Structure 1
Amino acid sequence: MSYDNGEHGTAQRYLIQSLRLAEESRNPALGAHVLAGMADQATLLGHPDEGRRLAQAGRAGLSRTPESAACLADLWALEGRALAKLGDKRAATNAVAASEQAYSTVQLDNEAEWARFIDPAYLNGEHAQTFQDIGDSAQSEKYARVSIDHARAQRRARRGAMSQAALAVSHLQRRDLEAAHAAGLRTLSLSGQVKSSRTVEAVQNLQRQMVPFGRHALVADFNDRARDLLAA
């Protein structure tokens, strides 16, 4: 909750304490899941090298237990996010493929309750971000649309907003401002339904991506509509 609210110092303390408790309770799968959260946070805060290392540590931890395929898929996805930020396109693409392979073996009855959120809405949204960061707009759009469809069916506004933003950026990378504006408005609508620093950051990133389009009327309209959300 602290992480999603942008309180990263507090979130980090809880994550470290969670990792210690997982170790003391001899639950390596849960420990790997906590390391996934720490990897995600490190990459988000601009430390993809650390994010990659933490994701790899999580995978190493899973080797000591009957494997959680969902957690493994998450760790590969987050390693892909870090690799994309590091500019390693081939390794990032391979990490996405490994994540998909791991998820194809998931048996929900064998997964812990905390692993249930690791699903197509979440994973495809993360993959969309990975391909966005390596400049593959076609792949980013493909994964974003799958995530959006699943998030809509589950009425998950936060995930839907983030994936709509990824879709908008994929349009901008192909210079399709009209399609990006439409996806951007859907991002704003969904973002208004939740309180999340992640959705706010997605909107801010979308604004930055629109800067090359200058004073175009659609850019001005999006920024005007985003003002209330960002002020709040």
Structure 2
Amino acid sequence: MENPNSDLRGWLERSGMSRKELARRVIAAAQAWGQPHITPDATAVRRWLDGQQPRHPVPEIVADVFSAHFKFRVTTYDLGFGEGQTAERSLIYNASFAVTVEAVTDLGRADVDRRKFLAGAPFAAVAAVGPSRDWLLNVIDQQPEPGPRVRLEDVVAVKNMFGEFQKMDVLQGGGTGRLVLAGYMNQHVYPLLRRTHTDDVRRSLCEAAAEQTYLLGWMAYDSGEHGTAQRYLIQSLRLAEESKNAALGAHVLAGMADQATLLGNPQEGRRLAQAGRAGLGKDTSPACLADLWALEARALAKLGDKEAAIKAVRQSESAYSHVRLEREPEWAAFIDPAYLHGEHANTFRDLNQASTAEEHARVSIAHARAQKRARRGAMSQAALAVSHLQRKELEAAHAAGVRTLRLSQQVKSSRCVEAVRDLQQRMQPFGSDRLVADFNEQVREFMAAA
């Protein structure tokens, strides 16, 4: 015999809805989900209250109904239906804005609660194909009309907070402020998306929410939680489309391209970067264009296409020469010489062009040091160390490796950890040299502390 669902009963009583009214709202919500065959009645609701577990996606749709009613996120777990399918749902680029709002809110809630099913969510290599295609088609068909953007106080507050959290990420790594940002989004930003707005207000709010959701994805990426990061990025892309800000969508695709290449899918990384360039629009954001070209170069280097990779680096440098900081969006602030030269250093590292890689690495290191950006400095020091190893200069490589370790200790970043591990592996061919032994011992201490 099934146990009565007291959780669902409590939420239903709190809402003041009858069984018939709940059934009616579930049917309406199912239409937005593209599930017109879901047509429960009051009897079906009674069975749920008696303990029957409805089939997917009914629990998620019921959760959306209660969330819309209460104006805050109510999850399938809250309703006594178990964890639901948040991880799978947030991989979907849904045409419905209402469904997108609930999906990204559910993702943020699960992230803050640190539920195990989300932490273990896998990265899906082909999941970006549909989202990038749909975003590009819609951007091309729906270019925004020129004119001033509406500035609500709520939106201004969100944008101000974005600047603070982005600085935290850049200076301290993604592992520092992510859960604080997720909590802020759940409590203050995502609820705003459920309110009624004029079209202009909604676009402005979606732009702010897309920026923050992207940053959540980037922080998860920097923490090595790639499944979670991918889900945030896909939902950020959908919010960016709703804002009709082509540059912001292209920026999100750049993050997705970076992740795909890092995880061993450079062909997909290149395609995502190309999609971003195609949808960016003329003179929209030279910084974003420079980033997309840099990431395409990284992918091409991984694919072994030397000529195309070098050409892409030149395109990136040309695009950045047109950057005017006062005209760039705030999210583009990190796309600067420290970042771009660091990416170019890695491109030439992968092309086995050690001297050129060293040149770019040193420029990146100098800018990063001036800005006190330990994460970028660590990653560029690692690229510098590899350039020395490629020329059999072990002593110089050891010195750069030690600097990599010291900078990595200042941030919470899985990418820095991976850079250290990669450097350690590349030193192995030098055998039992005392410098290798010394570096291995320092790495052991670093890993123990990390």
TM-score (normalizing by structure 2):
0.51
Q: Matched residue of 2:334: which SS? A: coil
The one-letter code sitting in structure 2 at the alignment partner of 1:164 is Q
Residue in structure 2 matched with residue 79 of structure 1 by the alignment: 296
Residue in structure 2 matched with residue 190 of structure 1 by the alignment: 407
Residue in structure 2 matched with residue 44 of structure 1 by the alignment: 262
For 1:1-232, list aligned pairs within 5 A.
Answer: 1-63=219-281, 66-231=283-448, 232=450
Kindly state the Cα deviation for residue 46 of structure 1 after the two structures are TM-superposed: 0.3
The one-letter code sitting in structure 2 at the alignment partner of 1:18 is S
User: How many matched pairs?
Assistant: 231
The one-letter code sitting in structure 1 at the alignment partner of 2:369 is R
The one-letter code sitting in structure 2 at the alignment partner of 1:163 is S
Could you tell me how far apart the structure 1 residues matched to 2:447 and 2:340 are?
Answer: 26
Kindly state the Cα deviation for residue 228 of structure 1 after the two structures are TM-superposed: 2.1
Could you tell me how far apart the structure 2 residues matched to 1:194 and 1:200 are?
Answer: 10
Could you tell me how far apart the structure 1 residues matched to 2:233 and 2:397 are?
Answer: 36
Could you tell me how far apart the structure 2 residues matched to 1:73 and 1:198 are?
Answer: 22
Could you tell me how far apart the structure 2 residues matched to 1:171 and 1:220 are?
Answer: 17
Kindly state the Cα deviation for residue 9 of structure 1 after the two structures are TM-superposed: 0.3
Kindly state the Cα deviation for residue 151 of structure 1 after the two structures are TM-superposed: 0.2
Could you tell me how far apart the structure 2 residues matched to 1:91 and 1:50 are?
Answer: 16
Could you tell me how far apart the structure 2 residues matched to 1:99 and 1:185 are?
Answer: 30
The one-letter code sitting in structure 1 at the alignment partner of 2:291 is D
Higher relative contact order (CA 8 A, sep 6+): 1
Could you tell me how far apart the structure 2 residues matched to 1:217 and 1:128 are?
Answer: 28
Q: Matched residue of 1:140: which SS? A: helix
Could you tell me how far apart the structure 2 residues matched to 1:136 and 1:90 are?
Answer: 12
User: Comparing 207-216 with 125-134, which one deviates more in the overlay?
Assistant: 207-216
Could you tell me how far apart the structure 2 residues matched to 1:215 and 1:67 are?
Answer: 53
Could you tell me how far apart the structure 2 residues matched to 1:214 and 1:61 are?
Answer: 49
Kindly state the Cα deviation for residue 208 of structure 1 after the two structures are TM-superposed: 1.1
The one-letter code sitting in structure 1 at the alignment partner of 2:410 is Q
**Following superposition, which runs of at least 4 residues in structure 1 exceed 6 angstroms of deviation?**
none
Map Cα deviations across residues 41-68 of structure 1 (whole Å, 9 max, x no partner).
00000000000000000000112x6420
Report the RMSD for the aligned CA atoms in angstroms. Answer: 0.7
Could you tell me how far apart the structure 2 residues matched to 1:93 and 1:104 are?
Answer: 17
The alignment-based identity, stated in percent, is 75
Kindly state the Cα deviation for residue 39 of structure 1 after the two structures are TM-superposed: 0.1
The one-letter code sitting in structure 2 at the alignment partner of 1:38 is M
Give the number of the structure whose alpha-carbon radius of gyration is greater.
2
Kindly state the Cα deviation for residue 211 of structure 1 after the two structures are TM-superposed: 1.0
Query: Which runs of no fewer than 5 residues in structure 1 stay unpaired?
Result: none
Map Cα deviations across residues 149-168 of structure 1 (whole Å, 9 max, x no partner).
00000000000000000000
Could you tell me how far apart the structure 2 residues matched to 1:183 and 1:138 are?
Answer: 15
Could you tell me how far apart the structure 2 residues matched to 1:67 and 1:174 are?
Answer: 41
Could you tell me how far apart the structure 2 residues matched to 1:77 and 1:12 are?
Answer: 20
Could you tell me how far apart the structure 2 residues matched to 1:16 and 1:104 are?
Answer: 30
Map Cα deviations across residues 103-142 of structure 1 (whole Å, 9 max, x no partner).
0000011100000110000000000000000000000000
